[in-house]
Structure 1
Amino acid sequence: MAPSKIRRAIGHVKDQTSISLAKVGSSSSVSDLEVAIVKATRHEEYPAEERHIQEILSLASYSRAHISACVKTLSKRLNKTRNWTVALKTLMLIQRLLSEGDPAYEQEIFFSTRRGTRILNMSDFRDTSQSNSWDFSAFVRTYALYLDERLEYMMEGRYGGRRSMYGYNDEDHEDNEDASVVRSIPIAELKNEQLFSKLLHLQQLLDRFLGCRPIGSAKDNRVVIVALHAIVKESFQIYYDITEILGVLIDRFMELDISDSIKIYNIFCRERKQFDDLENFYSWCKSIGIARSYDYPEIEKITQKKLDLIDEFIRDKSALEQGKKISDESGFVKETDSCEEEDMNAVKSLQNPSLLKRKNQNLRKKRK
C-alpha cells in the first residue's frame, strides 16, 4: 500500500475513534456537538461540508455552556493533532464561529488565556508526516497568528482596550456581558491618540494577513485556498478602515504639533510598503480565483513625492515655530499665514485615502 493511502487509512481510523469516544463521553447534545466538530475537521484534504458547520452553529447556540464545550473541544483538537489538515480545518471552523457565531465565542476563546490555554497559539506546530508538509505547517502558523490578532482587535473594539495582566479585564464579562461593552464611536470623532492606537493595531492586523500568503506546495491546495477566501474578504474592511483613518489624520494635519506630524510621516512610510505588498497579494489572489475581481478595493499608491511633501511641510513647520520664538512682528506672521495656507493645500492633495474611501463606497453601492 502506498504511503499516501496508509496515511489516509490511519487518519480515517483516528476520526472514527474520536467520533466513537464523543458519542459515549458526554450528554446527548454535547455529544452531537463533539461529533459534528470531528466530522468538520477530519483528516481528509477537502474543505469541511457546510452542513457540519451549520450543525455546530446550531447546537452551540443552545446555551453558554454549549459554547464553552465547543471551544474546549476545538482546543483539544488543536492541541492533540500533528496533522496540518486537521489543524487548518479546525482554525477555519474557529474563523467561521468568530464571524458568524455568538459574540460569546470571542470571550471564550480570548479568555482561555487566563485559564492557561491559548487556543490560537500554534507557533510550535509541525507536521512531519510528509516531505512537503513544511509549507502547510507554515501556513497553519501564520493563519493562527492572523486569527489571534484579529480576535485581539475585535475585543479591543468591544471592551475599549481595558487590560489586566492576563489580557482584557474579564472579571465581570462572563457574569454581565453587556455591561462593559463600549459604544462604537465613528472614526472621525476619535481623538488623535485613539486614531494612532487604532491605526497601529490595524497595521499589525494587516501585517498578519500579508503573512498568510502561502508558499510552495500550499499555494495550489484546495483547503488552503478556501481558508484564504474568508480572510481575504475580511482584509477588504481592514484596508477601508486604514484609508479612512489616514484621511482623517490628513484633514487634521495643520492642527497637529511637530511630534504628531512626524508620526503621520512614519505611518505613511509604513503604509507605502504595506499597500504595495497588499496589491501584490491581491493580484495573486485574483489570478487563482479567490473572490470576484470587482470585489477588491482599489489600492492607493503612496509615492515618494507624497512622502517628500509631508517631510517638507514638517521641516517648514519646525522652522516656523523656531522663527516665532525670536520674532513677533505682525507682518512676518501675516506672510507665514499665507504660506501655511499654500502648504495646507499641498498637504490636502495627499488625502487620496479620503477620496479613495468615497470611491470604494460608491463602488460597493453599485455592486448592491
Structure 2
Amino acid sequence: MKLWRKAAGAIKDRNSIWLASLSRRTPYRHPDLEAAIIRATSHDGAKIDYTNARRVFEWIRTSPVYLKPLAWGLSSRMEKTRSWVVALKGLMLIHGVFCCQIPSVQRIGRLPFDLSGFKDGHSSPSKTWGYDAFVRSYYAYLDQKSAFISSEAKNLKKALKPTLLDELIKLQRWQSMLDMLLQVRPLDENMKVGLVLEAMNNLIVEVFDVYSRICNGIAQALLKIYASPAKSEASMALRVVQKAATQVEDLSQYLEVCREMGVLNASQCPKLENIPKEDVKELEQIINGSANNNNNTNGKRENCEHFEEEKIHEEIIMSGIRKKGSNNKRVLKTVITDKWEIFDGDCSSRTTLQDQHHFPNCYSSHLSVVSLPNHKQDLPDLITF
C-alpha cells in the first residue's frame, strides 16, 4: 500500500512538471520556477529536495519580478493538494522565502493560499489528524507573520518615528505571534518522522528569533519609561513584562518537548532568563504613584554627588608652584600630580589648598587652579557658591 502511494505521488509530480513546461512565460507564469517549486514540494515524505529549494531562493534574490510567478505557482500547488507532505513542504518553502529578508517579500501581506481547514485525503483521519493539526497551526503562524511584516514595512516607508505606545503595541503583537508559534508542535506520538523533525528544526530558530525581538523591545521600552515615567505606558509595559514571564515558562516546556522528540536545534538553544522582579516592582510603583518626585530628585542628586566624588579622586590636579630664577623673578611652573600639594608660606605653618578654598559641588564641571602668594595678605573671595 505504501509503495503504491509513493508511486502514485511520483506520477502526480511528473505530470505537474510536464504541464508546467507547456505553459507560456508571462509576468505571472515561469515554467522553470514552477518546476522547481513542484520538485521542492514533492509527494516523497522520505526526503527534502534542498537543491530546488535553493534554486527558488536564488530566483527571489535575483529580482522581485519572480515574486508573482512564485506566488502563483505555490498557491496553485497548495490549493490542489490533499497530501500533508506536500502542504508541509510548501509551508517550509514559503518560510524560507521570508527568511531571505527581501523588501519585495515583506510586502506580500497575507499568504496567497489558504490551509486553515486542511485535511489529508490519502489516509484515514485517525492516522493523519496530528499532521493535519500541525499543518494548520504552521499555516496560521506564517499567515499572521506575513501580514505583520507587511504592516511594519508600510510604517517604515512612511518614515514616522514610533512613539513608546506604538512600540509597546508592537511588542504585544510579537507576544501573540510567539503564542501562535508555540502551538506549532506534534500532537501525536507517531509523528517522529524526518520531515516533521526538519520542520521543527526551522521552528526552533524562528522561536528564538521572535523571543529575542521581544526581549530587546522590552529592554528599550523600560529604559524610556524610567527616563520619563508615565502611568498609561507603565501599565501597558507591566502587562507586557508579566506576559513575557509567562512565556518563558511556556517556551521552556516547548523546548523540553522538542528535546524528547530528538529535535537537534532544541539541544543547542541558549539559556532562558526570567524578567527581574525589580523591574516589575518599579513599574508597579510608577502605576501606583508611590514614587515621589522630590524623593526621586534627592536620590538623583545623591547619586550625582557620589559620582562626582569618585570623579574628583580620578581627576588630574594641576597646581601652581613658586620657583625663583637667577634674576630673582618668580616663575610659575605647572606640575601634574595625583595627590593634593602643600604650599609653603612665609609663616611657619603650612596651609593646604583644601583648607584655603572650598571645592565646587557636583554640578561644577571642573576644579579651579589657585596659586598662593609668598607673603601674608587677605585673599579676596574670587569664587562664589
Pair in the same fold by TM > 0.5: yes
Q: Give the conservation status (yes or no) of the 8 Å contact 2:241–2:280.
A: no
Q: Give the conservation status (yes or no) of the 8 Å contact 2:200–2:263.
A: no
C-alpha distance in 2 between matches for 1:274 and 1:221? 28
How many residues are treated as equivalent by the alignment? 296
Residues 1:339 and 1:149: Cα distance change in structure 2 (over 3 Å) = same
Give the 5 Å matches for 1:166-177: none
> What does the per-residue CA deviation read over 1:293-333, in whole Å, with 9 as the maximum and x for residues that have no partner?
44x23212247x6587357524641x678xxxxxxxxxxx7
**SS across alignment from 1:6:** helix
**SS across alignment from 1:241:** helix
- Write the letter of the residue equivalent to 1:225: L
Q: What's the counterpart of residue 56 of structure 2?
A: 56
Residues 1:195 and 1:341: Cα distance change in structure 2 (over 3 Å) = farther
Q: Give the conservation status (yes or no) of the 8 Å contact 1:120–1:145.
A: no
User: Offset of 1:123 from its aligned partner?
Assistant: 1.1
Residues 1:257 and 1:60: Cα distance change in structure 2 (over 3 Å) = closer
Residues 1:309 and 1:220: Cα distance change in structure 2 (over 3 Å) = same
Q: What's the counterpart of residue 131 of structure 2?
A: 136
Q: Where is the strand percentage greater, Structure 1 or Structure 2?
A: 2
The one of 98, 101, 119 equivalent to 1:126 is 119
Q: What's the counterpart of residue 191 of structure 1?
A: 163
> What does the per-residue CA deviation read over 1:20-67, in whole Å, with 9 as the maximum and x for residues that have no partner?
211222349922221111111111113422211122234455654432
Gaps of 5+ in 2: 303-385
Q: Give the conservation status (yes or no) of the 8 Å contact 1:218–1:224.
A: no
C-alpha distance in 1 between matches for 2:63 and 2:294? 68
**SS across alignment from 1:37:** helix
Q: What's the counterpart of residue 353 of structure 1?
A: none
**SS across alignment from 1:252:** helix
> What does the per-residue CA deviation read over 1:64-97, in whole Å, with 9 as the maximum and x for residues that have no partner?
4432112101000111111111011011111112
Which TM-score applies when normalising by structure 2?
0.67
Residues 1:23 and 1:181: Cα distance change in structure 2 (over 3 Å) = farther
User: Offset of 1:207 from its aligned partner?
Assistant: 1.3
C-alpha distance in 1 between matches for 2:210 and 2:193? 26
Give the 5 Å matches for 1:1-368: 2=1, 4-27=2-25, 30-60=30-60, 63-100=63-100, 102-107=102-107, 109-110=108-109, 118-130=111-123, 131-160=126-155, 180=157, 182=159, 191-217=163-189, 219-254=191-226, 255-287=228-260, 288-291=262-265, 293-294=267-268, 296-302=269-275, 309-310=281-282, 312-314=284-286, 316-317=288-289, 334=294
**Higher RCO, 1 or 2 (CA under 8 Å, sep at least 6)?**
1
Residues 1:320 and 1:56: Cα distance change in structure 2 (over 3 Å) = closer
Larger Rg belongs to: 2
Residues 1:253 and 1:31: Cα distance change in structure 2 (over 3 Å) = closer
C-alpha distance in 2 between matches for 1:197 and 1:203? 10
C-alpha distance in 2 between matches for 1:191 and 1:284? 38
- Write the letter of the residue equivalent to 1:20: W
Q: Give the conservation status (yes or no) of the 8 Å contact 2:25–2:31.
A: yes
User: Offset of 1:101 from its aligned partner?
Assistant: 6.9
- Write the letter of the residue equivalent to 1:147: L
**SS across alignment from 1:282:** helix
Which TM-score applies when normalising by structure 1?
0.70
What percent identity do the matched residue pairs reach? Answer: 25
Q: Where is the helix percentage greater, Structure 1 or Structure 2?
A: 1
C-alpha distance in 1 between matches for 2:25 and 2:224? 59
Gaps of 5+ in 1: 162-179, 322-332, 343-368
C-alpha distance in 2 between matches for 1:94 and 1:206? 19
Q: Compute the RMSD of aligned alpha carbons.
A: 3.1
Q: Give the conservation status (yes or no) of the 8 Å contact 1:136–1:217.
A: no
